[in-house]
């Protein structure tokens, strides 16, 4: 069965993607590379919950130390079974504490902050808005603020300053008061929060399963907290237990149309956090030739 969220279906139709959907039925394994890119399994995190699988794209080019730590702990089985010990309805869902109290951490050393990063020409920035002189837009599926490309010509390293933004679905590292105290805990944004920008290290974004994030039990701690049943790097699983995930390219021709469609709908309230980036999961077998599917649980 073809499964499309109402907003997403409307967005696709507004973008004139009905032809792509028809093509998908005929050729289930050939997404248009001009508009869709496959997420790298080595930098894809699966978090399985009773509400479904949460799929996070990791960005080692943004926060290399934090991505390395997340993958190291994941591959050690550290996160399996840990609770979402702090879930605030209009804010975020936090996990990664072995004590479940908000005070625990792994035995590894704390991490130095990576609030900012240097963006080069190899990291295309698609501007969507300007706010108080700041340029806001996207790198891959990640909302960011960046200096303009023109400044690359006058910097010593040929790069410009940038930072990621705490929109819904963005994944960020928790820490204590010390900026360099992140260790194992992280949180997934349920709503945008600009107060966190440049204060916490963002290392990923949910590209599938934000609905599962929104269903997590709320509380600090919740009376009956949800758990991460199993956490895996996608590349470590057999192909039968993972699905190729394609995300709408933010540097492709269709993305600017999506920005403009969202801008028209939101009008004066438009924010980069309003732009919902579509994801495709092709099944590509003889029984079901549909692009869209629910990623199955791992039992």
**Model pLDDT for residues 138-159, shown as the tens digit of each residue:** 999 999 999 999 999 999 999 9
Counted domains in the chain: 1
In a domain, 138, yes or no: yes
In a domain, 290, yes or no: no
CATH at 253: 2.40.100.10
In a domain, 297, yes or no: no
Domain that holds residue 259: 6-280
Q: What are phi and psi of 152, to 5 degrees?
A: -60, -30
- Its pTM stands at 0.86
276, with CB counted inside 10 A (0-12, 13-18, 19+), is: middle
Q: What pLDDT does 205 receive?
A: 98
Q: Is the pLDDT of residue 249 over 80?
A: yes
Torsion of CA 176, 181, 185, 188, to 10 degrees: 70
In a domain, 142, yes or no: yes
In a domain, 288, yes or no: no
In a domain, 292, yes or no: no
pLDDT digits 0-9 by tens, 102-138: 999 999 999 999 999 999 999 999 999 988 778 999 9
Torsion of CA 143, 145, 150, 154, to 10 degrees: -130
In a domain, 293, yes or no: no
In a domain, 295, yes or no: no
pLDDT digits 0-9 by tens, 62-85: 999 999 999 999 999 999 999 999
């Amino acid at each position: 069965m073809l499964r499309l969220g109402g907003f997403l279906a409307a967005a696709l139709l507004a973008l004139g993607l009905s032809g792509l959907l028809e093509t998908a039925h005929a050729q289930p394994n050939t997404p248009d590379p001009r508009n869709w890119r496959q997420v790298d399994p080595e930098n894809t995190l699966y978090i399985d919950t009773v509400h479904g699988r949460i799929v996070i794209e990791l960005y080692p080019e943004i926060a290399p130390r934090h991505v390395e730590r997340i993958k190291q702990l994941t591959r050690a089985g550290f996160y399996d079974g840990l609770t979402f010990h702090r879930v605030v309805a209009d804010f975020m869902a936090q996990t990664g504490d072995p004590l479940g109290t908000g005070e625990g951490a792994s035995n590894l050393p704390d991490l130095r902050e990576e609030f900012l990063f240097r963006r080069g020409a190899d990291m295309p920035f698609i501007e969507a808005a300007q706010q108080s002189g700041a340029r806001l837009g996207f790198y891959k599926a990640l909302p960011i603020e960046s200096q303009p490309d023109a400044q690359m010509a006058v910097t010593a390293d040929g790069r410009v300053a940038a930072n990621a933004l705490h929109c819904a679905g963005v994944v960020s590292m928790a820490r204590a008061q010390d900026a360099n105290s992140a260790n194992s805990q992280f949180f997934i944004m349920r709503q945008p929060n600009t107060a966190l920008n440049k204060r916490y290290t963002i290392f990923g974004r949910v590209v599938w399963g934000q609905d599962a994030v929104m269903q997590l039990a709320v509380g600090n701690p919740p009376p009956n907290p949800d758990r991460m049943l199993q956490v895996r790097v996608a590349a470590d699983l057999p192909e039968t237990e993972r699905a190729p995930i394609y995300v709408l390219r933010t540097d492709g021709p269709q993305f600017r149309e999506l920005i403009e469609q969202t801008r028209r709908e939101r009008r004066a309230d438009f924010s980069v956090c309003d732009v919902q980036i579509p994801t495709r999961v092709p099944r590509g077998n003889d029984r079901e030739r549909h692009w869209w599917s629910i990623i199955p649980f791992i039992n």
